[in-house]
Amino acid sequence: YIHPKDQNALLLVADLMNHCFYAQECINSSKSSTESLHTSTNRMKIQ
């Protein structure tokens, strides 16, 4: 049996973990998109 207070804390931690994971995914995707943008602009400069 988990105390309701403890359960709330667990839910809060799980929520925070989800937020952190989501933020990390967003950061990674934005990084990769900016990197691809840089490579495409570099290719244009070379040509």
- CA dist 29 and 15 (Å) reads 21
- CA dist 19 and 14 (Å) reads 9
| Helix, strand and coil percent figures for the chain, each rounded to 5 | 90, 0, 10
45 versus 18: which is more confidently predicted?
A: 18
Q: How many CB atoms lie within 10 A of CB 23?
A: 10
**47 confidence band (pLDDT: 50, 70, 90):** low
pLDDT in tens, 4-37: 888 889 899 999 888 888 888 888 888 887 777 7
- pLDDT (0 to 100) of residue 27: 82
21 versus 1: which is more confidently predicted?
A: 21
